[in-house]
Structure 1
Amino acid sequence: MMQRLRVAVETPQYAGLARALDYACPHHLPAGTLVRVPLGQRNIPGIVWAGAPDQEAAEARPLASLKPVAEVMQALPPLPPVWCDLVDFTARYYQRAVGEVALSVLPPELRKLDNAGLDKRLRLLAKRSGWAMPEPEGSLPPRRKSAKVQSSRPGPAEPAPPPPLPTLQPEQAQVLATLADAFEQAQPPCHLLHGVTGSGKTEVYLRAAQHALDLGRQALVLVPEINLTPQLEARFAERFPGRRLVSLHSGLTPAQRLANWLTAHLGHADLVLGTRLAVFCPLPRLGLIVVDEEHDPSYKQQDGARYSARDLAVYRAWLEKVPVVLGSATPSLESWQHAQTGRYKLLTMAQRVGQGELPKVRIVDMNLQPQPAPGQPAAPLSEPLLTAVRARVERGEQSLLFLNRRGFAPVLSCTACGWKSGCPHCSAWRVFHKLDRTLRCHHCSFTERVPKACPDCGNLDIQPVGRGTERLEEQVAELLQGLERPGGGAVRVARIDADTTRLKGALEQQLAAVHDGSVDVLIGTQMVTKGHDFRRVTLVAAVNPDSALFTADFRAPERLFATLMQAAGRAGRDAAAAASSEMWIQTWSPTHPLFTALRQHDFARFAASQLQEREMAALPPFSHLALLRCEARDAAVAEGFLRQARDMAQALLTEQAADGQVTFYAPVPPHVAKVAGLERRQMLIEASTRPGLQRLLAAWMPQLPALRGQHKGLARWAMDVDPLSI
């Protein structure tokens, strides 16, 4: 007898389709089962979803008129109920279709396979890995809560002996004792680990993971960026020989990502390391979640379902009743506020391992430095900073120069008519890359060769304006020319940014050169300022941090303080050289409170002042935001859509019971108003309570697709709940 099934399929938000679609199936399928179903002219992947079929839909379409399920993916056990709960919460909170979220977080290769192809992949993986195939119909048994639970993964015949463990510092031991107690609690709290750079947070993660593994559980460790995954993976692999460790991030090939995901889903992976998408990895024996550098904005997805992996990690830990650790030297102000109010449990490590000192912070007031002659470019390094760098080179130590702008120069300009290298498709400049002589837009990727003369007036004198890492590398090499390293030889300057690490293995190769001392001065963007353990670096300098200080975004000071604190943490990580380590900052605003707090490495002071300002201005975490964004060929179309959407929402507010105040701001262009030929506009919604905002969005969002047809030329729209930048 045919039965009605709810199936979540991937449909775009603007389609306005139901949360799950109804299909017919000759037998019952448990929720979480992967299937292929017809939609239009294609068979697409879907997931059987829990819950009763929509009564109105059932009356409108009798069972006999439903399309049947095309294929059941019997080779794979169903996704666990807690995974479905996590996806369902994500879809509801971030206002996306449940199928869109559910399918988008699965490996792309999995969505392409039929049952026969999946079965073949599983057999090859099982043969290569040495574990048994899962039963076709069943699913893995639920994780027992006893401390004697054993891994379903067959261990090696002769496990390798564990490496000798480093001696714990008193603060580390205290933190680990607190976490050990959390494993025994029925509902462990969320732990915020505030540890200064070099305090040994990674060792805490390793010991906590060992505790989870001893209980027969799995550990999930999230990192903000792909370039941090290989080195952390090496640390875990060294600590846990014989344990199966897999990584999940977009840098893997589709086949690697599918194999690692299947290994985790079937319970054969003991440790999973990954970027934000790994928060959705199904783990049947999950026992611990760690979010390293929890403040990092990379945890917030910026397209599609704009979820925060950090926040979802906290929610998933609550669902699964397992400990979660958010670690950072500079926690996000939201997490810090939760810790101050008792919602999170604050764990503090204020000392570096080996009692090493934090680097001394030196502020260079650029207003007091000699200015260049008219028509001459300004030197990239002030004289005091250049002297300090030279001294490091002569002592055989390393320096790191931080400039968060890649390319040679942000813009090319004509000295005669004022022409600038703007992008014809975006309201942004095309960046000059000297190495390949191109002008490249970093927003739409439009690239052209550098013109030989000004396109407007024909003037041959086209000059670079501003400075990127490529130009800084060239200028620093010139400034250090003639200086010899200890033992002889020219100074070696290297650059690490998105341009120099595009090829596979390039980042690992360049980092290895830094670690083995082949580099004297390292120049890079923020990708080298966090997570890396550069033992030879004793000087870190922020060349031009002011560009990130004065912006319209209220989070700019928080992000800059975190970046500079993380950058400072790369210096003096070897306790023997900690006393002479320094952080230099070149700024035109030396009296800014941010630099005052940074000089004292006083995050608590900085956070208190920022939270006080935000409370006075009713900004997060003292209010709750959503941002409705849209794009259209014509700016008037985008603004008209937002104004009509605002009128619709205000009408809904009058019908709902008041739960706090909701404010709608006028539609405005973002910082970059045009990208790839599309005009962008956004409208900010501010609410005093989270339930009030969520209730409005739940009633408002289903009505927005109907507006699309009334605004011809509207390309797309999306709701961003808890936006990171406005």
Structure 2
Amino acid sequence: MTIDTNCIEVAILGPLPQHFSYRCDAPFPKSGCRLRVPFGRGERIAIAIGTATCPQDIPVKGIHRILDEQPLLPASLQALLGFGSNYYHYPLGAVWEAALPARLCQGQQIPSLAPTAWRLIADANIAERGLGARQMVLLQRLGNGNVRMAELDSSDRQRLRQFLAAGWIEAAQEPLQLREAPLALRPEQAQAVMALRASTGFQAFLLDGVTSSGKTEVYLQAMERLVLSGKQVLFLVPEIGLITQTQARCAARFGADAVAVYHSGQGDAERLRVWTQARSGSISIVIGTRSALFVPLLHPALLIVDEEHDLSYKQHSGWLYSARDLALRRAQLEDVPIVLGSATPSLESLHNRQIGRFADLRLHERASAQKIPPIEILPLRKKRLVAGLDPSLLRACGETLANGKQALFFLNRRGFAPALLCRACGHVPHCQRCSAPLTWHRRQARLRCHHCGLEAPVPEQCPSCGAAEIAGIGMGTESLEEFLRERFPNIPLLRIDRDEVHTPRQLAERLQEILHTRPAILLGTQMLSKGHHFPDVTLVGIVDVDQGLYSADFRAPERLAQTVIQVAGRAGRGDAPGRVILQSHLPEHPLLLALQNGDYATAATQLLRERQQAGLPPFRALALLQAEAQRAEPVYAFLRAARSCFATELDCSGPVPALLERRAGFHRAYLWLEGANRSALHHLLANAISLLGNLPTARRVRWSLDVDPQNF
């Protein structure tokens, strides 16, 4: 048999587990270039990943077209995607599809970038005869320095095109300058900045700073020399709502033209434009959410992952990657430092600091003169509550408002009530598609499932017994808002949750309203707790966190501790001291007692000790094999069959039902897969993954593998 070497191996964009070979005449495309290839009865976009050898007696189709002369991504990012495919055991073509702007996946060309500034060529041979006065004025401006396109009207832009055709001008790169002076640093901040500036090559830092300790100023001064010397910084935040304030801080320091944002809320054209500018080096700072991790940089120098503990860095559908973890790998591949910042670091990051993988940077004090307020725990047992609130919390709210300040109430439940209850027979309306009760949204007169979005009208009579004794049980932000408006009728109340705020623009407007309204009551869910600076908030009331104390999710205590500290950190950030009051029916719970002094480290140490004793991450490696189908039987049949695919060295438990057993009409269950360490786990998973797809029962379910799962 003869071998034909004129073949290329490609990954088709999409969730196809195998690679394919196509005939290709010279010149061969480089690895990382896009191709149009025949596939089935049509054609697809593919990524060249290397050469291949094909037997000549097997017909091999030829490629249709090479779309790129040069690779879309540098070698470091190509290696990152290859690593991400292997680590999370997900098809390489689907990984590339998730990492690229949508228009590139559709085969569109990379747009050319128009220069933002022009200058006169030093030895330009300009014939002044025949030039008008306006042309001479513009030429003089070009000779005196760079002229920005944004400064010119349409007639001057036409003159620029004439000068360009004559060969008199050229594109200019505007040098960056500081637009505002850096803030004075406290000693701990200065030490952190010095450590980051001194780092060369790859090094991971954990910036563990209490809320309002000035972590952003540390980031800005650490990136200052890099940006002014033409280098680039990638700055990740967990949610779109946090981009606006970060962008404003960076733009104020380095100029708006130096900063761009990249996130899923942008249109396809805008994302491609920012991607292209970053790739060309014309943007100095890219700020974005999870997907921004894969934006190529021409001169990468520093990676920042702010609020590194946040669950939003983990993708929850398709390619189940962690942007925080892959950011560490990217920094290693590009040989640049990375800083992970948080007031409540994840237990994984704290463990990595303990064993020396992360360098330790601490900020123990706030940037303002105010100290971290302790957390007052109000026992609720045998108390006569008013709309679910302790009277002493209401008195504290009244005093705060009388002083012209703001009070923040945190309740992480939307709607008017978490459920409806028939007082006659005890019936609770549930979602027809999920294992969860329907939430009552009284303002819209609807019952709504917060898992699948199903809606239903509010029944006037119990659908089970016919009684007209239906009432809400529990409290949500909508009912708390109604009560607080009645209790404090002359005080503005600003509510932030996903029922009130639907877009990043609405969130930005509401946050600005908070900054300019005093006194005021702020009410919200997690959206209100993450990284926002409210200098006039002096009272924080945490209404209900008890539901997180006894969850079946082993990560729930960590999430609860982080939430309590983050919410508490909104108080006392300005000139006045803060006060934090937490209501609980379990005031003696060890975790709440550990959080009483506002110190996250004590609680985290306790939780790490419990994880180690239980043999849970970060002390062991974990993966979940998840399956779902519209009937329960094929789910459990597949998972029982899947157990035989895993080697005996792997601790395999299950199948067990998911914590939300039925969602959007699908029954869900999983296998719990544990290994002594990551390398052992991945070796065994790699051997099993190809066997799973060949199981007869696999065709009857949707299944996925979640490595390092974060949300149960």
TM-score (norm 1): 0.87
Provide the C-alpha distance between the structure 1 equivalents of 2:195 and 2:280, rounded to a whole number of angstroms.
31
> What is the aligned partner in structure 2 of residue 335 from structure 1?
349
Q: How does 1:445-524 map to 2 (within 5 A)?
A: 445-481=453-489, 490-503=490-503, 505-517=505-517, 520-524=520-524
SS at match of 1:22: strand
Match of 1:314 among 304, 328, 342: 328
Q: 1:129 to 1:103 in 2, by over 3 A?
A: farther
Q: Does 1:668 align with 2:656?
A: yes
Secondary structure of the structure 2 residue equivalent to 1:91: helix
User: Could you say which residue in structure 2 is the equivalent of 1:620?
Assistant: 617
Contact kept? 2:401, 2:519, Cα under 8 Å: no
1:663–1:687 Cα contact (<8 Å) kept:
yes
Does 2:429 correspond to 1:421?
Answer: yes
> 561-570 or 405-414: which moved more?
405-414
Distance 1:423 1:369 in 2: 33
Tell me the distance in 1 between the aligned counterparts of 2:517 and 2:336: 42
**Are the equivalent residues in 2 in contact too, given 1:625–1:723 (CA < 8 A)?**
yes
Identity among equivalent pairs (%): 39
Do structure 1's residue 42 and structure 2's residue 45 form an aligned pair? no
Q: Give the structure 1 partner of residue 173 of structure 2.
A: 155
* Equivalent in the alignment of 1:86: 80
Report the equivalent of 1:127.
114
Once the two structures are TM-superposed, the CA of residue 243 in structure 1 deviates from its matched residue by 4.2
C-alpha distance 529-172 of structure 1, shift in aligned 2 (>3 A):
same
Within the candidate set 77, 102, 105, 1:111 is matched to: 105
For residues 543 and 186 of structure 2, what CA distance do their matches in structure 1 show? Answer: 34
User: Which one of the candidate residues 3, 6, 24 is aligned to 1:3?
Assistant: 6
State the alpha-carbon separation in 2 of the partners of residues 719 and 167 from structure 1: 48
On the 8 A contact 2:263/2:289 being kept in 1, the answer is yes
**CA contact 2:240–2:504 (8 Å) conserved in 1:** no
Measured in 1, the distance between the counterparts of 2:557 and 2:403 equals 35
Corresponding residue for residue 133 of structure 2: none
Contact (CA 8 Å) 2:439, 2:447: kept in 1 or not?
yes
CA distance in 1, matches of 2:64, 2:198: 49
Give the CA deviation at 1:248: 1.1
Q: Counterpart in 1 of 2:141?
A: none
1:668 alignment partner, SS class: strand
Segment drifting more, 288-297 vs 68-77: 68-77
For the 8 Å contact 2:238–2:306, the answer to whether it is kept is: yes
Q: Which amino acid aligns with 1:79?
A: L
The C-alpha deviation readout for 1:467-495, integer Å capped at 9, x for no partner, is: 111111111212224xxxxxxxx111121
Partner Cα separation in structure 2 for residue 40 and residue 518 of structure 1: 64
Counterpart of 2:688 in structure 1 is: 700
Equivalent residue, structure 2, for 1:646: 643
Show the counterpart of 1:383.
391
Question: What residue number does 1:181 align with?
Answer: 198
Which residue matches 2:143? none
1:168 equivalent in structure 2 = 185
CA distance in 2, matches of 1:349, 1:629: 40
Matched residue type, 1:720: D
Question: Contact 2:232–2:302 at 8 Å: present in 1 too?
Answer: yes
Task: State the Cα distance separating 1:400 from its structure 2 match.
Answer: 0.8
Aligned-partner SS, 2:618: coil
Question: Which stretches in structure 1 are left out of the alignment for 5+ residues?
Answer: 133-151, 372-377, 482-489, 654-660
The separation in 2 between residues aligned to 1:282 and 1:310, in whole angstroms, is 17
- DSSP-derived class of the 2:275 partner: helix
Task: Find 1:717's aligned residue among 681, 703, 708.
Answer: 703
- AA paired with 2:526? Q
Letter aligned with residue 569 of structure 1: G
Q: 1:634 touches 1:713 (CA, 8 Å); kept in 2?
A: no
Is it true that 1:591 corresponds to 2:588 in the alignment?
A: yes
Are 1:495 and 1:523, in contact at CA under 8 Å, matched by a contact in 2? yes
Matched residue SS, 1:92: helix
Q: Secondary structure at the match of 1:282?
A: coil
Deviation at 1:350, TM superposition (A): 0.3
- CA 1:712–1:283 in 2, change beyond 3 Å: closer, same or farther? closer
Determine if contact 1:9/1:103 at 8 Å carries over to the other structure. no
- Matches of 1:394 and 1:76 in 2, distance apart? 65
- Report the alpha carbon displacement of residue 538 of structure 1 after superposing the two structures with TM: 0.6
4+ residue runs of structure 1 moved beyond 6 angstroms?
Answer: none
Do the aligned partners of 1:432 and 1:464 also contact (CA within 8 Å) in 2? yes
Amino acid at match of 1:386: L
Q: Give me the whole-angstrom Cα distance separating, in 1, the residues matched to 2:450 and 2:115.
A: 42
Distance (Å, rounded) in 2 between the aligned partners of 1:630 and 1:127: 49
What's the offset of the Cα at 1:166?
A: 1.2
Q: Select 1:611's aligned residue among 601, 604, 608.
A: 608
Name the amino acid aligned to 1:162: R
Matched, 1:431 2:442: no
Change in 2 beyond 3 A, CA 1:211/1:74: same
* Alignment-derived partner of residue 631 in structure 2: 634
Give 2:675's aligned amino acid: A
SS of the residue aligned with 2:235? Answer: strand
Alpha-carbon separation, structure 2, partners of 1:241 and 1:340:
38
The CA distance in 1 between the partners of 2:651 and 2:581, in whole Å, is 42
CA contact (8 A) 1:493 1:519 kept: no
- From the superposition, tell whether residues 448 and 76 of structure 1 become closer, same or farther in structure 2 (CA, over 3 Å): farther
Quick one: distance in 2 between partners of 1:66 and 1:582? 72
Distance 1:131 1:495, change over 3 A: farther
Residue 148 of structure 1 corresponds to which residue in structure 2? none
Q: Specify the alignment match of 1:566 in structure 2.
A: 566
1:69 — aligned with what? 63
Q: Could you tell me how far apart the structure 1 residues matched to 2:58 and 2:634 are? A: 43
Q: Is structure 2 residue 690 aligned with structure 1 residue 691?
A: no
Q: Which amino acid aligns with 2:31?
A: A
Contact 2:13-2:47 at 8 Å conserved across structures: no
Aligned residue type for 1:464? G
SS at match of 1:239: helix
Shift in Å, 1:257 = 1.3
Structure 1, 630-639 or 597-606: larger mean CA deviation: 597-606
Q: Which residue of 2 aligns with 1:206?
A: 220
Alignment of 1:208-227 (within 5 A): 208-227=222-241
Match of 2:277 among 258, 263, 268: 263
Contact 2:233/2:303 (8 A) holds in 1: yes
- Determine if contact 1:30/1:78 at 8 Å carries over to the other structure: no
Query: Paired residue for 2:294, among 280, 305, 309?
Result: 280
Contact 1:496 1:524 in 2 (8 A): yes
Which residue matches 1:375? none
Q: 1:24, 1:63 within 8 Å by CA — same for their partners in 2?
A: no
Q: Deviations over 1:259-286 (max 9, x none)?
A: 1112112222211111111111111211
* One-letter amino acid matched to 1:292: D
Once the two structures are overlaid, the 10-residue window that deviates more, 629-638 or 457-466, is 457-466
The 5-angstrom pairing of residues 510-589 of structure 1 reads: 510-517=510-517, 520-574=520-574, 576-578=575-577, 581-589=578-586
Alpha-carbon offset, residue 379 of structure 1: 2.2
Give distance in 1, aligned partners of 2:338 and 2:228. Answer: 17
Matches of 1:628 and 1:266 in 2, distance apart? 40
- Residue type matched to 1:468 in 2? G
Is the contact between residue 518 and residue 536 of structure 2 (CA under 8 Å) also seen in structure 1?
Answer: no
User: Match for 1:681 among 657, 666, 669?
Assistant: 669
Residues 407 and 469 in structure 1, CA contact (< 8 A), matched pair in contact too: yes
Q: 1:47 to 1:582 in 2, by over 3 A?
A: same
Q: Which amino acid aligns with 1:670?
A: A
CA contact (8 A) 1:160 1:242 kept: no
Larger radius of gyration: 2
Alignment check: 8 A CA contact 2:13 2:94 kept: yes
1:130 to 1:498, Cα distance in 2 relative to 1, 3 A? farther
Q: Which residue identity is paired with 2:461?
A: A
Asked whether the equivalents of residues 389 and 399 of structure 1 are also in contact (C-alpha less than 8 Å), the reply is: yes
Residue 232 (structure 1) shift: 0.8
Separation in structure 2 between the aligned mates of residue 155 and residue 10 of structure 1, nearest angstrom: 36
